[in-house]
Amino acid sequence: MTVREPPTHASLSMKFLHFVAILSFGIGPFSYSAQPNIILLMGDDHGWEETGYNGHPHVKTPVLDEMATTGLRLENFYAAHPVCSPTRASFLTGRHPNRMGTFAPGWSLRPEEITIAHILSKAGYRSGHFGKWHVGAVKSGSPVNPGAMGFDEWVSHDNFFELNPSLSRNGAPPEVIQGESSEILIRETIRFIDQAHRAGKPFFTVVWFGSPHEPYSGLPSDLALYDDLPAKYNQKTVRLTSNKTGGQTRRPQGEVLRERYAEITAMDRAIGNLRTHLAVEGLRDNTLLFYCGDNGTSGDGSLVTPHRGVKGQVYDGGVLVPGLIEWPARIPQPRSTKVRATTSDLLPTLCALVGQPLPNRPIDGTDLIPLIDRKMKERPVPLFFWIYKGHSARDINHEPYIDPKLQEGTTPLVKLSAGKATRDFKNFIHPSISEDDYLGPRTIIDGDMKLVVHEQKRGESRFELFDLQSDSGEKNNIIDQQPATAKELQARLLQWQKSVLNSLTGADYRK
């Protein structure tokens, strides 16, 4: 594949400073009345604490740190689910993933879902997806590939990837692209936005990095930044994928952290290249640039955190992620907010931004434009999290929602699954709902109060209530002190579950 190399972050630094100086002297008044360009970035398994600006003792993220000091820092930003595919479904649709049967990694969207890309295309945007997809097969013919879900172009992978990734361009058979994966994705993104800009079209891009998901690998220069870690953290071993065999192995945590942090730093640098390019091309001021993670830090990479839990758990350590917005035209002064927000908020926010109506179906997110404009002091609706455990994939007897042949993946990855280097997807028809469909760990956050319900089997429930303002680490269960609050939250959680399960039957598509 031949791709023109864009200028590097370093070579553009002087041009960037010159451009900023021009803006500072106010040459040419700017109005954000024009449609803004929109770039949504997301890291893979990048938890809240793994940034310099959140005080991590080792990981180096100078670009994200700069964004945190120039834009809007979302101190309490949540992935909608503690694992990846479900969060990605919420990101695209504004809906909880259980509404569309995207229960866990490897469970796809449904073709009837309406995504941000569908909506922004109606508003005149050119839309592109780059990187991890993981809500269906990316190949041509898949009814839930990025093209079917509203994107005009895509260079994507069914799952995650490392150095020298194998990616599919617009559904074609995958090709190996040599290089560091985050840099490759940003190179493709820059190509896309430049083409859209030359054509006079506003652009919407979704960039889902493969980093820092395990198995880990890094460039020698990035690994060298963390050469001290293997000796510091050599007492504990962690379980992860072997880059050599594709199977599971155990390694000292210090070695793993060295490689993980190298991936985060490479991703951070790639974001810097993108920001510099936007500035040099005169696009930065009216481009909304957003970054978040897709779930909390994975267990193998978790080192220090003020929050309880890790990826896969509904405690805040499993769902709190970095959240940043840069948009100089509309956020001219840096600030931070403690208002809670989530990936489900992206669709309603962008609908409001471009003047498009919300889809005619239940939406779980809320419009954050008032937050951007300093008019939102607290979240107007609760946050809900739910790991669906109604039945396992092995036991399910429902009819497939999509022909399994169309759900077969094509882009290989290092990690093997049952000896296979590619990933397939599934989704099932749920014509009716049973009591078992309500099972699974779940939680509601309303204001600062958080109710956690643990229920893997019917009749075996355990409840915890936390005040996140005074107990962000979720250490003190105060349910005995505030039983009325717990009862009220439990009722609201159950009411919401009923709505979600009604959606799961396909009722939303029959309106």
Question: Cα separation of 322 and 50, whole Å?
Answer: 8
What lies within 8 Å, CB to CB, of 332 at 6+ separation is: none
| SS3 category, 390 | coil
Look at residues 393, 392, 397, 382 and name the one whose alpha carbon lies nearest to residue 442.
382
Q: Are residues 415 and 299 in the same domain?
A: no
Domain-embedded: residue 89: yes
Q: Per the structure block, which two tokens stand in for 30?
A: 């700017």
Q: Is the pLDDT score of 390 beyond 90?
A: no
| DSSP code, position 400 | B
- Kindly provide the b/e burial profile for residues 13-36, where b requires at least 16 CB atoms within 10 angstroms of the residue's own CB: eeebeebeeeeeeeeeeeeeeebb
Provide the residue range defining the domain that includes 137.
Answer: 37-380
Residue tagged 């709190």 (tokens)? 320
pTM above threshold 0.85: yes
Q: Are residues 308 and 338 in the same domain?
A: yes
Please, which pLDDT band fits residue 392 given cuts at 50, 70 and 90?
Answer: low
Domain-embedded: residue 2: no
Question: Cα separation of 373 and 367, whole Å?
Answer: 11
Q: Are residues 366 and 394 in the same domain?
A: no
For strands 203-208 and 37-43, give the pairing.
parallel
If one counts the domains in the chain, the total is: 2
Q: Are residues 370 and 439 in the same domain?
A: no
Q: Are residues 238 and 144 in the same domain?
A: yes
Q: For 30-57, how does the pLDDT look when each residue is reduced to its tens digit (9 = 90+)?
A: 334 589 999 999 999 999 999 999 999 9
Higher pLDDT pick, 487 / 15:
487
Q: Is the pLDDT score of 248 beyond 80?
A: yes
Domain-embedded: residue 80: yes
Question: Cα separation of 133 and 109, whole Å?
Answer: 11
Q: Are residues 437 and 318 in the same domain?
A: no
Q: Per the structure block, which two tokens stand in for 398?
A: 């429902």
Contact 13, 276 (CB under 8 A): yes
Please, which pLDDT band fits residue 274 given cuts at 50, 70 and 90?
Answer: very high
Q: Are residues 373 and 398 in the same domain?
A: no
Q: Are residues 476 and 413 in the same domain?
A: yes
Q: Are residues 333 and 475 in the same domain?
A: no
Among the candidates 380, 409, 425, a domain finishes at: 380
Domain-embedded: residue 32: no
pLDDT at 191: 98
Look at residues 114, 79, 84 and name the one whose alpha carbon lies nearest to residue 102.
84
Among the candidates 344, 360, 380, a domain finishes at: 380
What is the phi/psi pair of residue 372, to 5°?
-60, -35
What lies within 8 Å, CB to CB, of 423 at 6+ separation is: 106, 134, 158, 159, 409, 413, 417
Q: Is the pLDDT score of 468 beyond 60?
A: yes
CATH number where 165 lies: 3.40.720.10
Q: Per the structure block, which two tokens stand in for 507?
A: 């009722």
Domain-embedded: residue 127: yes
Q: Is the pLDDT score of 9 beyond 50?
A: no
Contact 154, 145 (CB under 8 A): yes
Contact 113, 92 (CB under 8 A): yes
Rama region for 265: left / alpha / beta (φ>0; ψ in -120 to 50; rest): alpha
Q: How many residues does the chain have?
A: 511
- Element housing 221 (H / E): helix 220-223
CATH number where 405 lies: 3.30.1120.10
Question: Cα separation of 237 and 253, whole Å?
Answer: 5
Per the DSSP assignment, residues forming a β-bridge with 287 are 37
Question: Cα separation of 188 and 191, whole Å?
Answer: 5
Question: Cα separation of 353 and 124, whole Å?
Answer: 13
Mean pLDDT is lowest, of 92-101, 384-393, 396-405, for 384-393
Average pLDDT, the chain: 93
Domain-embedded: residue 28: no
Q: For 184-203, how does the pLDDT look when each residue is reduced to its tens digit (9 = 90+)?
A: 999 999 999 999 999 999 99
Q: What is the mean pLDDT of residues 273-294?
A: 98
- Helix crossing, 181-198 with 253-280: angle to 10°? 20
DSSP per position, 402-455: S-GGGG------SS-BTTBSS---B-B---S--GGGG-S-EEEEETTEEEEEEE
Q: Are residues 313 and 405 in the same domain?
A: no
Q: Are residues 311 and 404 in the same domain?
A: no
- Report how many helices (DSSP H) and strands (DSSP E) the chain contains, helices first: 12, 19
Question: Cα separation of 84 and 135, whole Å?
Answer: 9
Domain-embedded: residue 85: yes
Among the candidates 380, 398, 431, a domain finishes at: 380
Please, which pLDDT band fits residue 25 given cuts at 50, 70 and 90?
Answer: very low
CB under 8 Å, gap of 24 or more: what pairs does 27-31 form? Answer: 30/285, 30/286, 30/329, 31/329
Task: Give the rounded distance of the alpha carbon of 159 from its chain centre.
Answer: 13
Other Cβ atoms closer than 10 A to 396:
14
Domain-embedded: residue 258: yes
Q: Per the structure block, which two tokens stand in for 225?
A: 């930044």
pLDDT at 8: 42
Q: Is the pLDDT score of 29 beyond 50?
A: no
What is the phi/psi pair of residue 450, to 5°?
-130, 120
Q: Are residues 358 and 414 in the same domain?
A: no
Question: Cα separation of 214 and 195, whole Å?
Answer: 33
Other Cβ atoms closer than 10 A to 129:
30
Question: Cα separation of 225 and 234, whole Å?
Answer: 17
Q: For 125-139, how does the pLDDT look when each residue is reduced to its tens digit (9 = 90+)?
A: 999 999 999 999 999
Question: Cα separation of 146 and 129, whole Å?
Answer: 7
Contact 293, 48 (CB under 8 A): yes
